[in-house]
Amino acid sequence: MRTPVIRRLGLALLLAVVSVPVPGWAQDPLRGTWRLVSFDVVTSNGLILEQFLGPEPVGAIMYDGTRMCVQITRLDRRNFASNDLRSGTPTERAVAYQTFIAYCGTYTVNLAEGVVVHQLEFSLFPNWTGTAQKRFFEVSGDRLTLTTPPYPSGGGQVTSRLVWERAK
């Protein structure tokens, strides 16, 4: 009679241990640093548009298990005439702003739905500060693809598709 009780207790303990979230790669396949491979803006009919960062943007996205940070830019950004961070002309500052994406915050991963939500605490684009930015994700080997939900642009709907490679 004691054996079935011990088996049931053992099974209950095993199920309890298995259901406890364990930090690490299995629970968070995004954890780590990723380098940008490509950044496409895709129209609803499948056309790929050149996005505002030019044909070969560079960047990194980092997930540490709780927090995330992303920075994307273009390599051919011009230096300010002055070497003073605060002394750029209005045109220099506008171009610098238009050629850089940066934000950070916390994130949550829904493995079942293939969704990551970035809860932004700070953003170069002020309208995103304090917002939740949903991204669909797919991890295949050392590649991570993040895709935005459709959003309005140029009178139509587009999605952004960013492909990242795990940094070595």
Domains in the chain, start-ordered, CATH in brackets? 22-166 (2.40.128.280)
Whether residue 90 is predicted with pLDDT greater than 70 in this model: the reply is yes
Closest to 61 measured CA to CA, from 135, 153, 158 = 135
Tell me the pLDDT band of 117, cut-offs 50, 70 and 90. Answer: very high
pLDDT at 54: 81
Q: Which residue type sits at 56?
A: E
Is 80 exceeded by the pLDDT of residue 101? Answer: yes
C-alpha span between 41 and 38 (Å, rounded): 10
Name 68's bridge partners: 63, 105
**Hey, what are 4's tokens?**
């079935």
The answer to whether residue 22 scores a pLDDT higher than 50 is: no
Average pLDDT for 109-133:
97
* pLDDT surpassing 90 at residue 124: yes
Q: In Å, what is the CA distance from 71 to each residue of 12, 38, 99, 100, 159?
A: 45, 14, 11, 7, 19
Q: Residue 62 is encoded by which pair of tokens? A: 């980092």
**pLDDT number for residue 154:** 78
pLDDT, one tens digit per residue, over 50-80 is 777 888 899 999 999 999 999 999 989 999 9
Position 55 scores a pLDDT of 82
* pLDDT score of 98 more than 90: yes
Claim: this prediction has a pTM higher than 0.75: yes
Please tell me the predicted confidence (pLDDT) of residue 2: 53
